[in-house]
Amino acid sequence: MMDERERLIVALDVPSFEEAEKIVKTLGDEVIFYKVGLQLYTSAGPQVIKYLKELGKKVFLDLKLHDIPNTVAETVSVASSYNVDMMTIHTFGGFEMMEVAQKRAWKPDGNQVILLGVTILTSLDQAFLNDFLGVDRNLKDEILQLASLAKSAGLSGVVASPNEVRDIKLQCGEEFIVVTPGIRPEGYDSMDHARSASPKEAIIMGADYIVVGRPIVQSDDPLKSAREIQEKIRNGLSQRP
């Protein structure tokens, strides 16, 4: 059974290894799972992954890969060799890209990396889908289509906003993992996330994992903030239908 603390993924959205290290030390045993995104990975590279794994932490490598199938597959293979636990590729890369990437998502110990498809970024809305991409479809319907495509390609789950979790679970099954970014505690500015929710709301809606960055990382007391969010997660789990 999953340790409830694993459901909180703290986004290390900081520019240097030193800053990431400081946050991890501050949070101690309260946080098990960390997200390493483009900014930190560009700055620190595999060093930060090695550091986290040596501490017994889980790593979500969020690079949102989107390229030709072979390039993405080879990149997934290299990242998997670092023993990351979870990583992302874009569903817009298409079925073939996702399928070949999934086949390369294996750790050295023989365990599979949780490979997730990014659907529509939480910073985007219906107007972007219609006006910029020229897609004449409801935003939720488009996300459900992308989630189904990801499942057909063999992916373990998707990244989507809390608003779509229930529908994705109904369509793709309860075992299909949904990771939700754009999580903001009550009273916290949603900032650049157009589709956000509180930690408790996201868990009640069925999210398997929630990603929280600035509300913890930029807090005056990161450990206190993390503990409060963990409590919200526990409350949300107790109120699930």
Q: Point out the residues that are catalytic.
A: 64
Q: How far apart are CA 135 and CA 137, in angstroms?
A: 6
Instruction: Cite the DSSP H helix spans in 106-159.
Output: 126-127, 139-152
Q: How far apart are CA 161 and CA 202, in angstroms?
A: 9
Which of 212, 202, 123 minimizes the C-alpha distance to 164?
A: 202
Which of 212, 147, 207 minimizes the C-alpha distance to 181?
A: 212
Number of alpha carbons in the 13 Å side-chain half-sphere of residue 22: 12
Spatial neighbors of 225 by CB under 8 A, at least 6 apart, are: 185, 215, 216, 219
Pairing of strands 8-11, 33-37: parallel
Task: Work out the number of other CB atoms within 10 angstroms of the CB of residue 70.
Answer: 12
Evaluate whether 87 touches 112 at the Cβ level (below 8 Å). Answer: no
Stretch (H or E) spanning 34: strand 33-37
- Estimate to the nearest angstrom the gap between the alpha carbon of 215 and the chain centroid: 16
